[in-house]
């Protein structure tokens, strides 16, 4: 099997049953039941945009695990590489809306099925089919020593098979400390092509004594071998920093695009057109900023994962950095404007809905 024959994206990690309270947990009330997990959120977002995507992970041999797998299958995510662990339960996450703009998250995932991911699972996934993009987050290595080993093994497999690596830092302070995360993630940087992080997460990927300015930090990571750094800035949008295109490459691409430069199954070869100004900046490297799309905020949880899904979708379509940023902030805005982690993710046909005037009724 040649490199990059296995569809668009492979992602792996823990997906949990999610309970969303109506208010402070100690007061009781009602809860909505769904699923949540950064990696599966991205997988659902990509699948809704027409891309083929596989999610690998474990759930308990329980009703909660059935809900996870059933939901992902219903969203057209390939779960053939997932398995049921009879020796551990499916993880649980509770969302507690405490103030209008503040939600507390409580994890119950210690010794869960998803935390028992092991390196051999990734061997099987790559043996089945080599993905064009391996997407992983900084959450999975925080779950357990075996999950950490699996993550490192996946990076090596991606390099050996020529798959692009996208890492979303996604630091979770309740799972591991900043020092623990930094010690691990710094070792990952030589394997990473596309790094996605919020501004406060960039220092986790750099050694002590590195610059404190966001732009300087991104450039330090580019100098260390990362091909592209996309910084999520919340309500301020996002900025991408990239190394210059290699000679002969299409405008707007960087060498991070390895297996992603060909148009995806959701787009024909003519779909990589960009506006001329964006292309000029993309091709020359440097940085490019995209403001956020203004929407009425309903729930900020999941916005970062939605941004990643949009960014990778545009990359798979052959878009340059301007197009990647534009789609990323658009899918992020859909998430902010909708309750839930992934429920508001748009289909490809819905991407233009945010440009409609207020009060529009689509008949």
Please identify which of the residues 85, 168, 305, 341 carries the catalytic annotation: 305
Which ranges constitute the DSSP H helices of 107-144?
119-128
Cβ neighbours around 73 below 10 Å, total: 13
Residue holding tokens 């809860």?
Answer: 31
Q: At what angle do helices 178-188 and 145-161 cross, to 10 degrees?
A: 20
Q: Which of 355, 333, 360, 329 is nearest to 344 (CA)?
A: 333
- The dihedral built from the CA positions of residue 100, 104, 105 and 106, taken in this order, carries a sign that is negative
Going by C-alpha positions, the residue among 9, 44, 77, 1 that lies closest to residue 264 is: 9
For residue 132, the SS3 value is coil
Active site (annotated) includes residue 305: yes
The beta-strand segments (E) located in the chain are 9-12, 16-21, 31-36, 53-56, 58-60, 83-85, 92-99, 102-108, 133-137, 164-168, 194-198, 228-232, 238-242, 286-290
* Token pair recorded at residue 86: 């009879």
Those residues whose C-beta lies under 8 Å from the C-beta of residue 352, and which sit 6 or more positions away, are none
Residues with a known catalytic role? 305
């Amino acid at each position: 099997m040649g490199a990059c024959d296995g569809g668009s994206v492979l992602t792996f990690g823990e997906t949990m049953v999610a309970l969303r309270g109506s208010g402070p947990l100690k007061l009781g009330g009602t809860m909505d039941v769904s699923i949540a997990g950064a990696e599966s959120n991205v997988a659902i977002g990509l699948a809704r945009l027409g891309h083929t995507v596989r999610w690998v992970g474990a759930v308990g041999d329980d009703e909660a695990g059935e809900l996870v797998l059933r939901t992902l299958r219903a969203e057209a995510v390939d779960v053939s590489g997932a398995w049921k662990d009879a020796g551990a339960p499916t993880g649980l996450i509770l969302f507690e809306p405490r103030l209008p703009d503040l939600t507390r998250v409580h994890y119950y995932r210690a010794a869960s099925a998803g935390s028992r991911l092991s390196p051999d699972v990734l061997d099987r996934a790559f043996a089945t089919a080599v993905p064009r993009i391996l997407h992983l987050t900084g959450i999975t290595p925080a779950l357990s020593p075996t999950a950490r080993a699996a993550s490192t093994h996946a990076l090596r497999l991606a390099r050996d098979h020529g798959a692009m690596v996208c890492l979303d830092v996604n630091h979770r302070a309740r799972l591991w400390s900043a020092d623990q995360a930094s010690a691990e993630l710094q070792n990952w940087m030589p394997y990473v092509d596309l790094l996605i992080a919020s501004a406060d997460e960039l220092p986790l990927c750099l050694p002590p004594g590195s610059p404190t300015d966001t732009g300087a930090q991104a450039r330090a990571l580019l100098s260390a071998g990362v091909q592209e750094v996309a910084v999520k800035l919340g309500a301020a949008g996002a900025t991408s920093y990239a190394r210059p295109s290699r000679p002969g490459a299409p405008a707007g691409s960087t060498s991070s695009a390895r297996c992603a430069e060909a148009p995806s199954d959701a787009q024909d070869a003519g779909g990589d057109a960009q506006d001329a100004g964006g292309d000029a900046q993309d091709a020359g490297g440097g940085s490019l900023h995209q403001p956020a799309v203004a929407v009425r905020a309903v729930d900020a949880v999941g916005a970062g994962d939605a941004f990643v899904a949009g960014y990778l979708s545009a990359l798979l379509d052959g878009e340059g950095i301007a197009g990647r940023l534009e789609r990323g902030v658009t899918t992020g805005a859909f998430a902010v404007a909708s309750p839930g982690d992934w429920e508001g993710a748009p289909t490809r046909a819905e991407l233009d809905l945010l440009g409609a005037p207020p009060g529009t009724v689509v008949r």
